Structure 1
Amino acid sequence: MALRISSWAIKRPLVPIVIFVGLVVTGLMSFSRLPINGMPNVNIPVVNVSVFLPGASPTEIESQITLRVETALAGIGNIKHITSNVTDSVSSTKIEFQLGTDINQALSKVRDQMIGIKPLLPRGSEEPMIQSIDADVVPILTYAVQAPQRSIEQSTLLVDTQISRALLAIKGVAKVQRQGGVGREIRIALDPVKLQSYGVTAAAINDQLLASVQNLPAGRIDSAGQETLIRTLGAPTDVVSLQHMNIALPGQRFVRLADLGDVIDTTASQRQIARLDGQPLVGFAVYRSKTASEVSVEKEVQAVLKEIQANQPDVSFTQAQTLVEFTQDTYHAALWSFIEGALLAAAVVFVFFRNWRATWITALGIPLSVIPTFLVMQWLGFSLNMVSLLALSLVSGVLVDDAIVEIENIMRHLRMGKTAYRAAMDAADEIGLAVVATTVVIVAVFVPVSFMGGVVGQYFIQFGLTVAVATVFSLFVARFITPVLAAYFLKPFDEAHAPSSWMSSYRRWLEQALAKPKTSLLIAIGIMVATVLIASRLPTDFMPFEDKSQSTLQVELPTGSRIEETDHVLGLMTAVLRKKPEVQSVYTVAGGADVDTNIDGEVRRASVLVRLKPKSERDVDVKTFEQSILQDFAAIPNARISVLNENGSKALTFSLASSKPDDLAQTAGALETQMRGLPVLKEVSSTIPLPHSEYVITPRSEDAARFSVNTEVIAEAGRVATMGDLNSNLAKISLDGRQIPLRVQLNAGAKEDGVMIGQMLVPNSEGVMLPISAVADINFSAGPSSILRYDRQRQITLEANLNHATLGEGLDAVEQLPALKNLPKTVKRFDTGDAELLGEMFDSFLMAMVFGAMVVLGVLVLLFRTVLQPITIMVALPLSIFGACLALWVFGESLSLPSVIGILMLSGIVGKNGILLVDCIIETIASGKSRHEAILEAAQQRAKPIVMTSMAMIAGMLPLVLGFGAVNAFREPMAVAVIGGLIASTALSLLFVPVVYVLIDDFEQSITPKLRGLLTLEK
């Protein structure tokens, strides 16, 4: 079958050359504009709904807010999961939609549903906060603001106003989250004894201030021929004026505010404390929007901070954490690996050709294929990330594949004494079908696979389409540019072409294999069985560990711990860490905050960011360092300290869910205990709700009815007195150009005495003041400190880090635990985190392999117009998987995402050996040779280009295996799998493909002509 497009290009050389010059120029422009990120963007549509009810316990919030929110949102279409996190005062519900859902439409539907249930939410709850989650889960940058001459309150103001506003103006910055710091407020600390004597409540005082302390417009009049505005000025201009403000009392009396308590210009209660190397300060984290470039965002953030620092010399910024540094290292390492691979591939070509002209013509195919690929990547919205760059690195050897086949065939014609022009014309079109077929097979595998669903599918998209696009361009180069350059630049030569020793040995082995085809087939079947056995023994993991020169620790103290206690524990940890020679800086944050809502979290929780020196400057890796410090931290009492991965969770996580809270807690407790006994796990923990002490006010219905006091009045009186009212209900006065809130509450001494709760006054319907104890019972009790929910059921998450084991080994061990094997019918288990992605990865991989094999078979049937012989070509696939699994086992690699992508890549590229052989056998038989002679002649003719292309691909990937540095962990498993698969498929397919061809041909000849016609397309 002749494809004469190369002849057309040789006759009109300027047309393809001009086209490719244009593609190279536009490709280079696109390359400079592509965003640089660590990983592909995984765009999961998520909407978060948060409702704040100050002072409410998790149990109350669940029943009064969370259940109503979940019920209202459950009817929205395309929802994948609904998860809720209920803590003191806060209900946070995340709605995860199916991939591909329009986030704007989803956000609109959520808002509509929340409008409908707003009247059902309890009085006192703040306006629901509804937002789509556009930012990454973890910040790409964290900075500490060092300003020794400023107070923490002044540094807080600097971050909240100047820094945050300047950074949020940067394109690509989704969120700036302050860490630590305190706000300014005027605290009105009331004396409970004076409140009782004057017969007034904290809530009543707050309401009076809210109504009176404000400046309002009062209309306008026309005076003396001009329009004049009228203003009502009720807000004091300073604290002293506020102290002298009169408060109305029952019986038309009044009293000065200062006579009821202290009026203090101070700071708000501190719920977070940030420190760098033990020094208190304010920090902030920068979150990138999912479509932005990490590197570009980091550069612009640095520029803005330098400008702020130039204007305010007393302020400096220290980078406490960064993901961008690793991203840049990965980017530069990938580019160097690509260049090294291209040079090695060119060197392999020269070793075989021994001809400089043929070498540079072949090697030119690499840049001519890659550079135009950047144009398509920009059009598709891709970025230069670890996956797409790895695709280009792996494909560097593949890109010369077609050119090698073209040039080798042209040189064979040159040895016949033809001119370069005639040799190019004859040879290029002669090999056309095989060249097109090898490329079409790769594209046929990767294009459909690229549209797989799920989170893992997001990785396949950029890898698969990048490989497919680059391969298509390599086909265009091989069919248009390579023959043109060969026709006009190669020189004719008369070189004796004696068969090499390895070729003679190969011919002998092939003749022996053909002489005993059934024995050869049994050997091939044995290799396939060995593949299954090796693969079943490979450890499994989702992602290989990367040393990013930083470590994240999670700290948890017992329930009821104060922020001062949490900060003290962090101080002990900092002292230990600062003694380690590997440590560069220690950044601690006492008191958690919800990443999505920025609402204060539990003060008993904390995080520690440890930045290590570069890997070249330390003797231990991050894992060894983490094991060492955890042993040192064991001496710190009442603190649970764990290592988190880059996603903010432990290595192994899964959850249990049930509508029966007691069954759930009992099962999770038993499972946690059994997990602690597994040697492959460490730092086992769970989210089983810990008991949180609380005072419970229970109104006595008879007394409450007799005195006309309702529950809502009691709750409001207690909340305002102990915490102050909602932020939206606080009066504010203007001081120093800012609106400062007035927080009314009991003084600190009264709030520490639980007896005072019963003495607090509440008004009845007639305005008569009564102590709470007159209408309600007050008891000390305990309730859950937090509640997690998953798809409208209670949820408990169990997590652990791995002790010298892979994720697959950890999951296998957990699966065998009695508590998990005998789950109650009321409890169900589901994977989360990397465990969920691991299962999704293997499901996607199996589907991709089966689908890819079917697509390849279909393409080969269409190209060769027969059903049976394409099966011969498919023999290379299981042979390559054998080599890949064996290589992974020998090098001690796990079956992880990069190695799975590598095996998937093999399914596209290893078919080329069979295509070249079978195509040549068919053409040789068509020329009149016997089958045996045709097989031997085709094998000898195609063995050299097959070995050359495989060697070039292997050489192109060697830098990925032999490269040094912390950024090699993701690339190495993929390269190992591909190299192992190429070696095995090349060596074995040269023997087994001809044997299978004979067996299939014999079968085809043995069936009836009518059946044979059904298996052959009309020619």
Structure 2
Amino acid sequence: MFLSNLSIKRPIFATVMMLALVTLGIFSYRRLPIDMYPDVEIPVLSIVTKFPGASPETVEREVTKRIEEAVNPIPGVKHVISVSRESVSQVVVEFNLEVRINEASQEARAKVNTIRGDLPQAIEEPIIQKLDVSAIPAVSLAVRSDRLSPRDLTTLVEKKVKRRFENLSGVGKVDLVGESKREVNVLIDPNRLEALKMGVDEVISGLQAENVNTPLGRLNREASEFTLRIAGKPEEVEGFKTMVIGQRLGRPVTLGEVAEVQDGMEEQRSLALVNGIPAVSMNILKQSGANTVAVVERVKKEIQRLQPELPPGTRVEVVRDASTFIRDSVKDVQETIVIGAILTVLIVFCFLNSWRSTVITGLTLPISVISSFIVMNFMGMTLNVMTLMALSLAIGLLIDDAIVVRENIVRHLEKGEDHFTAAREGTSEIGLAVLATTLSVVAVFVPVAYMKGIMGRFFFQFGITVAFAVLVSLFVSFTLDPMLSSRWVDPDIERQGKRNVVARGLDVFNRWFDRTADRYRSLIAWALDHRKTAFLITTLAFLGGLFLFGTLQNEFFPKFDAGEFQINMKTAPDASIEESRDRLAAVLTAFKKIPEIKHTYATIGAGDTGTVRDVGLYVKLKEKKERRRSQEQVQEAVRKALKDLPGILPSILEAGRMDDRKPLLVSIRGDDLNLLKKYAAELKRKMYTIPGIVDLDVTLEQDIPEYRLIVDRERAVDVGVNSGQIVRTLGALVGGQAVTTYEDEDGDAVNVRVRLPVALREDVSQIEQLDLSAQKQGVGPVLVPLGNLVRYERQTTPSEINRQGLSREVVVSANLDKLALGTAVERVKKATEDLKMAPGYRIIFAGETEHMEESFGYMAEALILAILFVYLILAAQFESFIDPLAIMLSLPLSLVGMAGMLVLTRDTVNMMSLIGLILLMGLVTKNAILLVDYTKVLRSRGMERREAIITAGRTRLRPIMMTTLAMIFGMLPLALALGAGSEMRAPMARAVIGGLITSTFLTLLVVPVVYSLLDDLGGWVRRKWGKEENQ
């Protein structure tokens, strides 16, 4: 072959090429950032609109539905999902993967602006932003102080600490939780207002008119100019008390006469607690595309710089660090690569019985692995679990070509050829077969790399990395391997020197293997004489594999031990923030009996859409080696601990999930909320009876109590009051209204909020006693008791209303305990067969189930394309459409071992094990190619078919066993799943190892038989065709 001949003739050229690859690879490696998964941009927009004081039904009707209808016609929209909660609307628009998110964002913004006039005036401006589905906090920090008050600590965090982290490269957003912001509270005294016959609107307008700093113009005198400004804003909070807000009985009325003015805090609507101790926390989210590990590293360095600048007794601590698990996972995969490479080289040494041959062959590994970093850097990849897992799985593959080439060269040397001739002829003889086997492996990974859907984006880097590394190994095998074989004389082959203990031990092993090869020669002869029996044995094995495969459960991704998890809890519908904190305290007390828990980080009311009833609890476990139970077992203990605690609805989720939903989501869609509630209750009851389905939750199950005030319009008109005035007055007194601002010592604005004292807004009967100011013709301002104009009703409203596809939906969600997702879906479908619903109502499995079914479909397409590509490559190599069929028969045989291994290790059919199946399509053909190719070579030299088949089997058994064992031992560390997150990666390696074991043995038996049968068939066809032509 040209490359091998050139390398033998010009060894410096081959050496320089290898050095260039290694140099570029090392340079590229230093530039590769570390991350957990490939950075995949999924085009999703979030539109959040706040409507203060509005119920979920009002939010849905007035805001959510109108925004949905506006954005739904945008080209490329895949799903429109929304949730309407008290005071907040969130519409999530998911686009097809091909859509450019920036263009879609501009169009969505234009659509919302078009309908802005149709939305209520009281809403805040809709916030439209790209939603990073992986936008979990990269790191969470807690700031605590032994000396500062909560308000002063919040001020410190807002003005100094938060800004320092916001300025760091890669930081996208810093969310504060548990802050106690400074606020000037103006607490109205209704009795004083009544005595002075003043209304709240007068107080507000008077306060706004007095609290001004307004430029009045300029004074010009000759060469000088002065600005004239009125300074109406007080320098101290006490100054608000003397502000004149109106006139009564010919005298001015000050704010201090009708209200108490306090330099206080905003009403707290969120809390953060570390191990139950209050703190001000910061959830730091990275920018889309930024590297998690790099961002966390910058944050930690900034903490070290910031700490000495903080007041005594104040400290910043890391309570959640997403980079820890990433580093541990990447480190584990790197270690599996090294251990796998060592085991692979040892296998080669055992068979070749020569350290020089082992070195020549083993050099392929580091060169191929290091060279793969070149394409990773060029294509903007990262060192993540997917790319490193690709290299880990490819360890056995990378040395395959070198093994086959070197073994053939050694065989020629043992026949008496000189080193140059053996290197040239040995490589040339096996070259096309090695090329075909390598291209077969590449062919199965091209469809994986270009698979459609979200998973296709995630596996793109995996497929490209394997394909490039394998091609580099082929290049090394055709250049460096023959060059070193021709120049580096192996004393073992020339029988020079003494044989040490290791060498003598290997001699014993190789003599045993030679005897085994002779027995295999006899086995081939028997199989050729009993072709029906051999074929029957293989068929029965295949049917057994199909049976085992049918017993396997299926899920999207395997669970893994991350050493951390999240618990989202909802408290009672009418719970206050104090009640939620008490419920949380009970949970933390129960956790003290679970020794595996290292620390906890809890939040109440966090996020843009969080309420005081939403409790998030992050649980960090001790190191894997320091605890007796796995994460799954700890979660089961947590589930039992929470079971008997009243007032909470817990949901246990894996930390770091792409969304905060449970794996099993069953959606019922329709329009009537009452019908949806009824159907959901029946569905939940049926799901409760299915073992393994736990933590059931229904979105419409909890209703929020509320009072509805109904205006008597006739009475209101009689006294000169309209509904808008009632809304403004009650909104200010009950909800509180920030009417103006106060400039603090640093010049920052502090809200001045007007409202009733807490003691006067505890019950609706107190609201009825409030007075409204009205202008009565001929009389002037009068006060009208609110109770004369309104009546109230106590009702309930849904805590949230979910919608998808412009229709309402209720979602029944659940966790799974020792039950695979696919099995759970089948059992739910069976349990709901008799659930009768009205026309227009339907059950849909959403979330992870939808992704799984879509991805499995794309995986099936990739598998079919991989098989087709392999066949076309083999047909091109053998210049025959029939001969490749003997090789292709080895593909289904891999299913036997794969199914058996997954059953043995209690794994499921998931995305990882299916990738292993596709990988097998390229691997198992390698052995069959070596057999068939050498058989054809021998026949072309004049050997009779039967003898050629037997001789080829005897000769190729050694490289076949070497490559198979090299691949098995190369993947063994990955299959053992000993490191962080390795449980997710292990099924892929286990599937490959199981498939390789059975496929290798069955291939050695059945391929010679099928080859002979197909050859007979081809001969019969040629004879029959020849007779017809003669006729």
Q: 1:680 aligns with which of 686, 692, 698?
A: 692
Query: Are 1:351 and 2:350 counterparts?
Result: yes
Residues 331-480 of structure 1 mapped to structure 2, 5 A cutoff: 331-480=330-479
Post-superposition CA distance 1:576-608 (Å, at most 9, x none)? 22343323222222x2333xxx35x22122122
1:562–1:603: 8 Å Cα contact kept in structure 2? yes
- Counterpart Cα distance in 1 of 2:807 and 2:567: 30
Q: 2:665 aligns with which of 629, 633, 653?
A: 653
1:670–1:819: 8 Å Cα contact kept in structure 2? no
Secondary structure of the structure 2 residue equivalent to 1:755: helix
Partner of 2:653: 644
Query: Are 1:786 and 2:784 counterparts?
Result: no
Q: 1:947 aligns with which of 942, 951, 961?
A: 961
Residues 169-180 of structure 1 mapped to structure 2, 5 A cutoff: 169-180=167-178
Residues 348-747 of structure 1 mapped to structure 2, 5 A cutoff: 348-491=347-490, 493=493, 500-589=514-603, 591-594=604-607, 598-599=608-609, 601-646=610-655, 647=657, 648-704=660-716, 709-725=721-737, 730-747=740-757
Secondary structure of the structure 2 residue equivalent to 1:351: helix
Greater mean alpha carbon deviation, residues 184-193 or residues 934-943 = 934-943
1:578–1:586: 8 Å Cα contact kept in structure 2? no
- Counterpart Cα distance in 1 of 2:439 and 2:715: 84
What amino acid is the match of 2:530? Answer: K
Q: 1:67 aligns with which of 57, 61, 65?
A: 65
Q: 1:945 to 1:577 in 2, by over 3 A?
A: same
Partner of 1:159: 157
Structure 1 residue 254, shift from structure 2 partner? 4.3
Partner of 1:110: 108
What amino acid is the match of 1:136? Answer: S
- Counterpart Cα distance in 1 of 2:752 and 2:150: 20
Secondary structure of the structure 1 residue equivalent to 2:982: coil
1:671–1:819: 8 Å Cα contact kept in structure 2? no
Query: Are 1:149 and 2:147 counterparts?
Result: yes
- Counterpart Cα distance in 2 of 1:406 and 1:209: 90
1:54–1:719: 8 Å Cα contact kept in structure 2? no
Q: 1:17 to 1:259 in 2, by over 3 A?
A: same
1:815–1:821: 8 Å Cα contact kept in structure 2? no
Post-superposition CA distance 1:462-491 (Å, at most 9, x none)? 221111111111111111221112121143
Q: 1:979 to 1:840 in 2, by over 3 A?
A: same
Partner of 2:211: 213
TM-score of the superposed pair, with normalisation by structure 2 = 0.93
Residues 266-281 of structure 1 mapped to structure 2, 5 A cutoff: 266-281=264-279
What amino acid is the match of 2:757? Answer: N
Structure 1 residue 135, shift from structure 2 partner? 6.7
Secondary structure of the structure 2 residue equivalent to 1:270: coil
What amino acid is the match of 1:656? Answer: I
Post-superposition CA distance 1:621-658 (Å, at most 9, x none)? 22222322333333432222332222233342332222
2:138–2:286: 8 Å Cα contact kept in structure 1? yes
Structure 1 residue 543, shift from structure 2 partner? 2.5
Post-superposition CA distance 1:862-907 (Å, at most 9, x none)? 3323222222221121111221111111122222222222112111
Partner of 2:873: 859
- Counterpart Cα distance in 2 of 1:202 and 1:999: 99
Q: 1:459 to 1:11 in 2, by over 3 A?
A: same
Residues 875-890 of structure 1 mapped to structure 2, 5 A cutoff: 875-890=889-904
Secondary structure of the structure 2 residue equivalent to 1:626: helix
Q: 1:568 to 1:280 in 2, by over 3 A?
A: same
Secondary structure of the structure 2 residue equivalent to 1:910: helix
Post-superposition CA distance 1:835-876 (Å, at most 9, x none)? 333323322222221121112222222332322222222112
Secondary structure of the structure 2 residue equivalent to 1:317: strand
Partner of 2:503: none
1:690–1:784: 8 Å Cα contact kept in structure 2? yes
Query: Are 1:761 and 2:772 counterparts?
Result: yes
Structure 1 residue 806, shift from structure 2 partner? 2.5
What amino acid is the match of 1:745? Answer: R
Q: 1:223 to 1:1008 in 2, by over 3 A?
A: farther
Taking only the aligned residue pairs, the percentage that are identical comes to 33
- Counterpart Cα distance in 2 of 1:205 and 1:710: 19
- Counterpart Cα distance in 2 of 1:389 and 1:141: 24
- Counterpart Cα distance in 2 of 1:255 and 1:154: 33
- Counterpart Cα distance in 2 of 1:309 and 1:107: 40
What amino acid is the match of 1:447? Answer: V
1:655–1:796: 8 Å Cα contact kept in structure 2? yes
- Counterpart Cα distance in 2 of 1:246 and 1:336: 75
Q: 1:452 to 1:913 in 2, by over 3 A?
A: same
Query: Are 1:231 and 2:229 counterparts?
Result: yes
Q: 1:762 to 1:472 in 2, by over 3 A?
A: farther
What amino acid is the match of 1:687? Answer: T
Greater mean alpha carbon deviation, residues 217-226 or residues 769-778 = 769-778
Structure 1 residue 175, shift from structure 2 partner? 2.0
Partner of 1:1016: none
Partner of 1:259: 257
- Counterpart Cα distance in 2 of 1:316 and 1:703: 60
Structure 1 residue 735, shift from structure 2 partner? 4.0
Q: 2:909 aligns with which of 892, 895, 901?
A: 895
Q: 1:120 to 1:732 in 2, by over 3 A?
A: farther
Greater mean alpha carbon deviation, residues 343-352 or residues 774-783 = 774-783
- Counterpart Cα distance in 1 of 2:190 and 2:771: 7
- Structure 1: 5+ residue stretches without partners: 1014-1019
Post-superposition CA distance 1:799-836 (Å, at most 9, x none)? 22223322233223222213676554422333334333
Residues 126-137 of structure 1 mapped to structure 2, 5 A cutoff: 126-134=124-132, 136-137=134-135
- Counterpart Cα distance in 2 of 1:639 and 1:947: 59
Greater mean alpha carbon deviation, residues 138-147 or residues 1000-1009 = 1000-1009
- Counterpart Cα distance in 1 of 2:529 and 2:397: 34
- Counterpart Cα distance in 2 of 1:113 and 1:605: 32
What amino acid is the match of 1:724? Answer: G
2:71–2:111: 8 Å Cα contact kept in structure 1? yes
TM-score of the superposed pair, with normalisation by structure 1 = 0.94
What amino acid is the match of 2:687? Answer: M
Q: 1:836 aligns with which of 834, 850, 853?
A: 850
Query: Are 1:986 and 2:1000 counterparts?
Result: yes
Partner of 2:191: 193
2:217–2:228: 8 Å Cα contact kept in structure 1? yes
Structure 1 residue 15, shift from structure 2 partner? 2.5
Q: 1:901 to 1:210 in 2, by over 3 A?
A: farther
Greater mean alpha carbon deviation, residues 562-571 or residues 844-853 = 844-853
What amino acid is the match of 2:99? Answer: T
Post-superposition CA distance 1:243-267 (Å, at most 9, x none)? 1111136898742111111111111
- Counterpart Cα distance in 2 of 1:253 and 1:775: 31
Give me the CA root mean square deviation: 2.5
- Structure 2: 5+ residue stretches without partners: 496-506
Residues 91-102 of structure 1 mapped to structure 2, 5 A cutoff: 91-102=89-100
What amino acid is the match of 2:621? Answer: L
What amino acid is the match of 1:740? Answer: V
How many residue pairs end up in the alignment? 1004
Q: 1:255 to 1:381 in 2, by over 3 A?
A: same
- Counterpart Cα distance in 2 of 1:576 and 1:297: 35
- Counterpart Cα distance in 2 of 1:787 and 1:538: 38
What amino acid is the match of 1:885? Answer: A
Partner of 1:959: 973
